[in-house]
Amino acid sequence: MSRLTVKDLRDGKGARQRTFVQVTSAEQAAAAEAAGIEMMSARYIPQNRSIPAAAPGTFFQFSLPYGRHASSEEALRDAFRALEDGAVAIYSAMSPAFIEPLAREGIPVTGHVGLVPPTATWVGGLRAVGRRAGQAVDVYRRARAFEDAGAFAVEIECVAHRVASAIAARTSLFTISLGSGDGCDAQYLFSADILGEAGRVPRHAKSYRDFRAEYARLQQERVDAYREFSRDVQGGAFPGSGHTVDIPDSDYEQFLDAIG
């Protein structure tokens, strides 16, 4: 797979939808790349710094955790580190005022409009956005603010699908739909939902496997294995002759003489 660039994404805007997933491990990243997923992201936290190396052919975006940076300078510093760790782009749920300094330094930045979970209290909680004209206009204006700040892309989360499509058609931003219909430039889902790792799957997502049940089965297998080991030890079945090494009789006698 040839790794996409920001130019590729912008040049291909409107041609077809890209596939985009959030991952939490190198194993997920490697599997997603093997499956042909074109774009992926992960939170920029210490345990995730090595994930991009597991998917060298995929457009990789690190997400700056919301609330970690008290100034744009702090965000800029972490953004540069994220690029050094293999990211092609940076996601931030912060305001355009935080985005602009990063974009000014040539860092490809993705903003976020619609349902932004850390600030969802302003829209009444974790619910769809843009189902009324005034709120839809506000989503559009926020997207344009990110465009004006120099962002190259925007995640549009849980926005009425016709509203998201209209925004995508009226902005140069590469638009990423998370629960906002098929009118954007990429479809984005979390691996936890795709793999069925979480309990309740949100309406906008779809599970393609049931890893939760598989994890429960594996956990029971662990319990059973430990129980069998304990039983073998108590019953004298472990260790057996095949699990130990021996010493020749003559050497053993010499050993005993040596230690008295």
Q: What is the pLDDT of residues 160-216, one digit of tens each?
A: 999 999 999 999 999 999 999 999 999 999 999 999 998 788 889 999 999 999 999
Tell me how far apart the alpha carbons of residues 7 and 210 are, in angstroms, rounded to a whole number.
Answer: 37
Which pLDDT score is estimated for 256?
96
**What does the alpha-carbon distance between residue 89 and residue 59 come to, in Å, rounded to a whole number?**
8
Res 92 pLDDT > 90: yes
Catalytic site includes residue 157: yes
Beta carbons of 244 and 231 less than 8 angstroms apart? no
- Note the pLDDT of residue 65: 95
Residue 239 lies in a domain: yes
d(Cα 129, Cα 123) in Å, to the nearest integer? 7
Residue 140 within any structural domain of the chain: yes
**Backbone angles phi and psi of 177, in degrees to 5:** -90, 125
Into how many domains does the chain fold?
A: 2
Q: What is the span of the domain harbouring residue 10?
A: 6-209
In CATH, what number is assigned to the domain containing residue 135? 3.20.20.60
Please give the pLDDT value at position 74: 95
Mean pLDDT value of segment 233-245: 94
Give percent above pLDDT 90 in the chain. 91
Residue 126 sits in the same domain as residue 235? no
Task: Assign 243 a pLDDT band (cuts: 50, 70, 90).
Answer: very high
The last residue of one of the domains, among 168, 183, 209, is 209
pLDDT at 186: 98
pLDDT tops 90 at residue 88: yes
Residue 1 reports pLDDT greater than 70: no
Domain contains 85: yes
Instruction: Assess if residue 184 is contained within a domain.
Output: yes
What percentage of the chain carries pLDDT values higher than 70?
100
- Among residues 33, 100, 157, 197, the one annotated as catalytic is 157
Residues 191 and 239 in one domain: no
Q: Answer yes or no: is 1 within a domain.
A: no
| pLDDT surpasses 70 at 249 | yes
Long-range CB pairs of 164-167, under 8 A, 24+ apart, other chains included: 164/114, 164/130, 166/140, 167/139, 167/140, 167/143
- Report the pLDDT value the prediction gives residue 105, as an integer from 0 to 100: 97
The answer to whether residue 8 scores a pLDDT higher than 80 is: yes
Q: What is the pLDDT of residues 146-155, one digit of tens each?
A: 999 999 999 9
User: Does some domain include residue 60?
Assistant: yes
Q: How far apart are CA 157 and CA 116, in angstroms?
A: 7
Query: Using one digit for the tens of pLDDT, what is the confidence trace for 53-70?
Result: 999 999 999 999 999 999
pLDDT at 141: 97
Please indicate, yes or no, whether residues 109 and 68 belong to a single structural domain of this protein.
Answer: yes
pLDDT at 253 over 80: yes
Q: Work out the average pLDDT over 241-245.
A: 93
Residues 232 and 123 in one domain: no
